Amino acid sequence: MDLKEKLVTSFLALENRVNVDSPIHDIRSEAMKVFENLGFPSKKDEAWKYTALNTILKHDYSVFPKQENAIEYKNVKKYFIHDIDTYNIVFIDGKYSSHLSQTTHDGIDVCLMSAALNKPKYRLVIENYFNKVASKESITSLNTAFAQEGAYIHIPKNKVVEKPIQVLYFSTGSEEALIHQPRSLVVVDENSHVQIIERHQSLTDNPVLTNSVTEIFANKRAIVDYYKVQNDNQNASLIDNTFINQKRESHVSVHTFSFGGKLIRNNLNFYQNGERIDSTLKGITIIGEKQHVDHNTLVHHIEPNCESHQDYKGIFGDRSTGVFNGKVLVNKEAQKTNAFQANNNILLDDKASINTKPQLEIFADDVKCSHGCTIGQLDESAMFYLKSRGIPQKEAKALLMYAFANNVLESVKIPEMKQRINKIIAHKLGVNIGFDL
């Protein structure tokens, strides 16, 4: 039985466990129909030209884990940003872990999707926002069909959330192979400000496939900073779909740090529904072995006077492959748009490859849109300069690579987060330098 069939049958099983009379279930059934029709995307789809899913779809994934698992905090502490106080929403094999989490309902809601979907007090928010910006393509629909659990974050008007929110997904490997489908919703009302960190972590070598969907709504003048840390092991794959709907004068930034995993696909979509919006999309990718990272971004400029900034840096070693597929779409009404897109890559080995496709589709005349894309190597003369000053080859190389990626890190607003990323980069590059100068 292939995975698609299995998911279709599992959906019938799901219908026995959830309330089929709720309006949510109509959305689920609708989405399941879409997925049944379209199936998994193949390389024939233009958006998946460079990323083949068949290697990760061949496993016999369990759709619902059989048992609940617990893990000790001390074993997973290193995956948290633990040196500062944060709200935590933690899931183990897709199930909420109350003893690792720290949620709140005090003025803001930092809790669970399952609660939000089922409790009447959240009904209005769910009706207004749930599945409103997520696309209707097959992978996202598959997630919608199984949407049950994930993070639910609602920040009402005029609130500055004083500490970051961490959302962590652990898989314990108690199943042979597991497919996760977390579904999250973030609603940030007028003038509010929130910082969110998301991480998926597999704790064993058993194959895991995560198909995650996050919808983010930034209302008037809201500020949202979202960080994605992807440093998983060699058998974990991630398809991350993020949809962001921005209202006027809001600022949303998403930083994606991809350092590992078998296959990572990031679908990041921004829709600017208002004037004077600012969107930032940044990413650092440093991978090796046979890893594959694909960044697929869309910024849709719908109204005038908005800006978007994209900056993706990639360093590819061994037999890894990188893909960047960025699209900027400017509607005819979106005059005075300022859109910038950059994608710079370094190939370290001959077996590594990079496919990049930065696209501009522009229908308005009074705009400033540009994109730049480079593929190259480390500067020989810079290497020589460092080596002539007594810095060993390996460290010199690491320093240059760090410098190459650095301007993505500059806009990270949580200092501890930055330190953590620095550490991971040092680890990835196999050097023991702090980088925190």
Place of tokens 């496919």: 355
Q: Is 102 helix (H, G, I), strand (E, B) or coil?
A: strand
Encoded tokens for 152: 């639910």
Site size for another protein, by CB under 8 A? 35
- What is the closest distance, in whole angstroms, from the C-beta atom of residue 354 to another protein in the complex? 5
CB 302 within 8 A of CB 271: yes
In the chain, the N- to C-terminal Cα span, in Å, equals 55
Binding mask 18-47 for another protein (x = CB under 8 A): ----------------------------x-
Residue of the chain from 19, 128, 158, 370 that contacts another protein (CB under 8 A)? 370
- What is the closest distance, in whole angstroms, from the C-beta atom of residue 316 to another protein in the complex? 9
d(Cα 294, Cα 264) in Å, to the nearest integer?
6
Torsion, Cα of 313, 197, 145, 218 (10° steps): -90
Q: Which of residues 68-107 bind another protein (CB under 8 A)?
A: none
400 binds another protein (CB under 8 A): no
Residue of the chain from 21, 162, 350, 410 that contacts another protein (CB under 8 A)? 350
d(Cα 412, Cα 410) in Å, to the nearest integer?
6
Nearer to another protein by Cβ, of 115 and 348: the residue is 348
2 binds another protein (CB under 8 A): no
Binding mask 284-323 for another protein (x = CB under 8 A): ----------------------------------------
Q: Which residues pair with 359 in a beta bridge?
A: 327
Nearer to another protein by Cβ, of 16 and 377: the residue is 377
383 binds another protein (CB under 8 A): no
Place of tokens 């500067």: 379
Residue of the chain from 351, 413, 423, 427 that contacts another protein (CB under 8 A)? 351
Of the candidates 333, 317, 354, 319, which has an alpha carbon nearest to the alpha carbon of residue 428? 317
Nearer to another protein by Cβ, of 9 and 370: the residue is 370
Nearer to another protein by Cβ, of 43 and 413: the residue is 43
- What is the closest distance, in whole angstroms, from the C-beta atom of residue 337 to another protein in the complex? 10
Of the candidates 278, 277, 254, 250, which has an alpha carbon nearest to the alpha carbon of residue 266? 254
52 binds another protein (CB under 8 A): no
Residue of the chain from 156, 376, 392, 434 that contacts another protein (CB under 8 A)? 376
CB within 8 A of 393, min separation 6: which ones?
A: 383, 387
Q: For residue 366, with 0-12 CB atoms within 10 Å meaning exposed, 13-18 middle and 19 or more buried, which class applies?
A: exposed
Q: Which stretch binds another protein (CB under 8 A): 55-63, 126-134, 242-250, 370-378?
A: 370-378
CB 190 within 8 A of CB 221: yes
Torsion, Cα of 134, 139, 234, 397 (10° steps): -50
380 binds another protein (CB under 8 A): no
Binding stretches for another protein (CB under 8 A): 46, 332, 335, 345, 347-377
